């Protein structure tokens, strides 16, 4: 299989802000391209020759930064890592003006920040692709890698049973979108005070019902993992919530993923988007077990994001 033989609509969608910009068919096509790139990593070393990607990061990063910078390098392009304080954005220049300047000089932007509104405003005024590298509301790039990892493991997505345990955060929001679109059954197990966004949850339920899958939420952990194919968790305290850490450690204590809990679902794999706080949301024993897919998830960020970059940037007809 070659990239040319995959019916991927180049530059459609132009932006990746939540994941809803893609159809389920386009997501599958993107995963097909990522599979090919993973198998033949050097075959497309000139795919993005002459292209430049800006990385505007307000939040610290390991996997997002590595995958985009290495991905651009492996595809023949280059990247520019920029902190908001390095830009006039940090001195009051409007997003509208910055987006228009970026659009005149580079080919795409990855933004990793707190506010979803900032990413969407950049996309509103930019004439180049804008990629959400993480906000407090969504993390679509991680979800693409997660879907890729699950398809590698199970050779399918439709009908899988994914159970997420922990905080109703940006990862849950992105999982709600992805699961409902891809006919995955998804259950959130979280404390009552830490539920996901109600509007996103209800929207996912509507989409899932059309795709014959199930979106559920419960607040009790006992027995809730039974039948799961995948058990997923994330940190209990996200970036920007550090002042709540002590309180959250107490309120999430019973939601830890450990070997005792996983006995409820002996055939399930374990996933975590990283970084992990071992001894909090997951034990070191689970992280190191043969059920853990965390390192595959991390590596697959590179392959999927290379496919995404080709999809969004490899189009000389972009309006400049």
- Choice among 4-13, 236-245, 248-257, 288-297 with the minimum mean pLDDT: 4-13
Kindly report whether the peptide bond that precedes residue 275 is cis, defined as omega within 30 degrees of 0. yes
pLDDT in tens, 79-132: 999 987 788 886 789 999 999 999 999 999 999 999 999 999 999 999 999 999
Per-residue pLDDT, 315? 60
Tokens encoding 254: 């019973």
Residues of the chain with pLDDT > 70, as a percent, come to 94
pLDDT in tens, 199-228: 999 999 999 999 999 999 999 999 999 999
Q: Could you give the domains of the chain?
A: 3-139+299-313 (3.40.50.1370), 141-298 (3.40.50.1370)
Asked if residues 37 and 8 have their Cβ atoms less than 8 Å apart, the reply is no
Per-residue pLDDT, 90? 64
- End-to-end, the C-alpha distance of the chain in Å comes to 32
Annotated catalytic residues are 112, 139, 142, 234, 273, 301
Per-residue pLDDT, 6? 47
Q: Is the pLDDT of residue 264 over 50?
A: yes
> What is d(CA 313, CA 176) in angstroms, rounded to the nearest whole number?
27
Q: Is the pLDDT of residue 296 over 90?
A: yes
């Amino acid at each position: 299989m070659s990239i040319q033989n995959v019916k991927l609509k180049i530059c459609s969608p132009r932006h990746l802000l939540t994941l809803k910009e893609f159809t389920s068919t386009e997501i599958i096509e993107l995963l097909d391209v990522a599979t090919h790139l993973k198998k033949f990593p050097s075959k497309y070393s000139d795919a993005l020759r002459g292209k430049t990607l800006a990385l505007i990061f307000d939040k610290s990063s390991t996997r997002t930064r590595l995958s985009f910078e290495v991905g651009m390098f492996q595809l023949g392009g280059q990247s520019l890592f920029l902190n908001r304080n390095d830009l006039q954005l940090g001195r009051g220049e409007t997003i509208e003006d910055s987006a228009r300047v970026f659009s005149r000089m580079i080919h795409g932007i990855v933004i990793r920040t707190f506010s979803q509104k900032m990413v969407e405003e950049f996309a509103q005024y930019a004439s180049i692709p804008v990629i959400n590298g993480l906000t407090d509301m969504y993390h679509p790039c991680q979800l693409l890698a997660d879907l890729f990892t699950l398809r590698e493991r199970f050779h399918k997505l439709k009908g899988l049973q994914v159970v997420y345990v922990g905080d109703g955060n940006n990862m849950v929001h992105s999982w709600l979108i992805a699961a409902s679109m891809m006919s995955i059954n998804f259950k959130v197990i979280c404390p009552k005070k830490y539920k996901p966004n109600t509007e996103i949850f209800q929207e996912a339920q509507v989409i899932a019902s059309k795709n014959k899958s199930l979106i559920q939420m419960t607040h009790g952990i006992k027995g809730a993992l039974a039948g799961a194919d995948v058990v997923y968790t994330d940190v209990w305290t996200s970036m920007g919530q550090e002042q709540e850490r002590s309180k959250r450690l107490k309120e999430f204590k019973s939601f830890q993923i450990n070997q005792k809990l996983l006995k409820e679902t002996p055939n399930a794999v374990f996933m975590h988007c990283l970084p992990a706080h071992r001894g909090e949301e997951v034990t070191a024993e689970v992280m190191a077990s043969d059920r853990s897919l965390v390192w595959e998830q991390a590596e697959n960020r590179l392959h999927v994001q290379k496919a995404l970059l080709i999809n969004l940037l490899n189009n000389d007809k972009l309006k400049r």
